Chain A
């Protein structure tokens, strides 16, 4: 395709970029997510306190100029803990969905390309996984594997897989009989090359939209599991685990800040993922 900029010969990617630039809210959401990721990565460089700096003179202090969102039962600065918690929550969300997306899209493409019994087996297996509500499935997997953050990642990856398989399969089927795939077949391209060089790129759009939204859902699921005592355990600053330890104070008036901010972090992350995903969808598939 030529690189001139007449309206007829714009590459799909350029077209997508142009449309995406109009999605102001999605860009805002993406920027917030980026800032959160950067803050999580560079936490030690700009935070004056360490993750577990106890200060028994400052136990359960409400938000102030010094401690922006207050301190906890051990006098630890909550803002510091939230930033370090972002490291765990964001990487759990990102890693689990990445594994799910990789596995799901490979299975989906294989199902579409090979067809026949392989297609039947993969898609029926997906149907069975769909027969469980996803959160229940996560709990069941954690029940088998035991608690802990690694097992939470595995559980979320497993229940993300069937959806990615379905999405990839349906968009792969759409291009399976297109001329360029047939041309590649005629020219003797290997099955592997056809699947992953020719078909995969055309399925990326759908995967990307779902991936973005799914990261949000996974952060939410991981936090829920930690909150229920099946994921990260309390000394960890994981957001769900922080909320779990705040539960001891919910019956007392005046300690709402302990609950408020970890939850707001989860809420903001999930909200941004959803808004960004919506924007990507609108830019990829304008109706």
Chain B
């Protein structure tokens, strides 16, 4: 087990290294000269040369990359081109809100599983159809549109919530519904098919035959075995919450990482964009790593391979 985790951890580090390389070249691929952008339109060549040296852009590429990596490990991401503040400080302010939002959005996990189980245990009946119609709609609905409609109905018309901004946890209700919808729909689909596979197994028939209660058969015997494929999908979906929050934060005017990313892309604030790309992929990769480890806890067979 520790050996397996170590192996996966090394793989994860490898991916992170490649991501760091990509993020490094990201800034070098950008159209235009970053020095010119920093120095402004009417800077002299001399002034530009000073800035170039200050940023270390006159060094050979491999040295630049080494410095970039060392800074990265020390959480020094450079300064924002717009505000001039260290990127770290800019991010820290926004991080907490996105973390809260992600936490609230996890409602999609139980909701999706319950819907999927209901659909599977009522296969081909009305409840199954209803759950699956909900599911395919949830996968197809444009998130930003759903958000706008929810604002118009629940914030503008009924005035139950504030349309935008963040003052209290209640303000995260509509964003959480918006972001979680897709995840719920996808988990429901996967749970249904994983469950149907398990329900036809012999040990389920045996449990039923020996008189185990219906609820116990469903939630103790079947669910546990159906969980394996579901966990993978849950992991992926948590990753997608991160990108889902980009759009939702923009709609609901939440000052989190997502709206920061959009502001920075539009304003061409590249150090911030670069750091956000690294941060987002770091989360995504770590979630995948945790899912893989969880997998071995649930299914010991994986470890043996």
Contact = CB atoms under 8 A, between A and B. Distances in A.
A266 B239 CA distance: 24
A143 B265 contact: yes
Interface string B136-147: 110111111110
Interface string A141-168: 0111010000000000000000000000
Contacts of B243: 133-136
Interface in B146-188: 146, 148-149, 151-153, 156-157, 163
A259 interface: yes
**Does more than half of chain B's interface fall in helix, strand or loop, or is it mixed?**
helix
B240 to A, nearest CB: 6
Given A128-B15, A131-B281, A132-B280, A267 B141 contact: yes
A253 B151 CA distance: 10
B156 A251 contact: yes
B140 to A, nearest CB: 4
Contacts of B144: 223-224, 227, 240, 243
B246 A127 contact: no
Q: How large is the interface on B (under 10, 10 to 19, 20 to 34, 35 or more residues)?
A: 35 or more
B145 A259 contact: yes
B24 to A, nearest CB: 13
A136 B156 contact: no
Interface string B226-251: 00000000000001101110110010
A200 interface: no
A135 B288 CA distance: 17
B140 A216 contact: yes
B148 A252 contact: no
A251 B266 CA distance: 24
A88 interface: no
Contact of B157 (A134, A142, A230, A253): A253
Interface in B251-292: 261-262, 265-266, 268, 273, 277, 280-281, 284-285, 288
Nearest 10 pairs between A and B by C-beta? A263-B145, A133-B243, A271-B140, A270-B140, A135-B243, A143-B265, A266-B142, A259-B148, A256-B152, A136-B243
